[in-house]
Chains A and B, each alone.
Chain A
Amino acid sequence: QVYLVESGGTLVKPGGSLRLSCAGSGFNFSDYYMSWIRQAPGRGLEWVSYITSSSSAMYYADSVKGRFTISRDNAKNSLFLEMNSLTAEDTAVYFCARGGFRYRFDYWGQGSLVTVSS
């Protein structure tokens, strides 16, 4: 059974930084592209970033480019999202998901809430 479990979400002040983690299990983590998707309260889904299986390439939505960094540690079956210069517009539930370019998001974590507020 495939599991993805996010952690690290919390309340952070505007301008602050935060690192989210996602632990994968039940599949060969290093074989798959992985992504972060977010959902602001009462809003739709927004793709944030994806990383290739070997970390050879990363892509970002324009709304987070230059502020967020995606990374992974295949030895630890883990995905990360480093978020800097946070604003209220970054307040959302952040989901990690298996998939990316040319691969659907077939498994999702339960989400981690990030709240940016003073």
Chain B
Amino acid sequence: EIVLTQSPGTLSVSAGEGTTLSCRASESVTGNYLAWYQQKPGQAPRLLLFGASRRAADIPDRFSGSGSGTDFTLTISSLEPEDSAIYYCQQYGSSRSLTFGGGTKVEIK
């Protein structure tokens, strides 16, 4: 199965600053079938990006994604207080096993 490693584990960033989250795959993600999700405490995850860089419906343009193959990034250009959450990457290009990364917790100073 494809193992996704997210870094860093935790980020502490001031509101208004930008930040970048990393997701590294143990092997190439077929077709760039890589998604990012945001999860706040007590809530279901919310889809942010799919196909590595396509924003889901109603997602603000301060969220952007890039990457291909084994290295992917999620960039939040100007953090808002409501962006405090855990962010997960996920690959959905392997038919027999869909996998999530371990998550990056973003804290707003």
Contact = CB atoms under 8 A, between A and B. Distances in A.
Chain A at the B interface: SS class = strand
A88 interface: no
Contact of A105 (B86, B90, B99): B90
Given A105-B47, A106-B47, A109-B44, A100 B92 contact: yes
A11 interface: no
A92 to B, nearest CB: 13
B95 to A, nearest CB: 5
A109 B43 CA distance: 10
Given A104-B35, A105-B37, A109-B44, A44 B50 contact: no
Nearest to A33: B92
Contacts of A110: 44
Interface string A62-97: 100000000000000000000000000000000100
B1 to A, nearest CB: 8
A99 B93 CA distance: 12
A15 to B, nearest CB: 27
Contacts of B95: 59, 101
Interface of B: 1, 31, 33, 35, 37, 39, 44-47, 50-51, 56, 86, 88, 90, 92-103
Interface of A: 35, 37, 44-47, 50, 59, 61-62, 95, 99-111
26 contacts: A35-B98, A44-B101, A44-B102, A44-B103, A45-B37, A45-B39, A45-B90, A45-B103, A47-B97, A50-B98, A59-B97, A61-B97, A95-B44, A99-B92, A100-B98, A101-B93, A101-B98, A102-B93, A104-B33, A104-B35, A104-B51, A105-B37, A105-B90, A106-B47, A108-B45, A108-B46
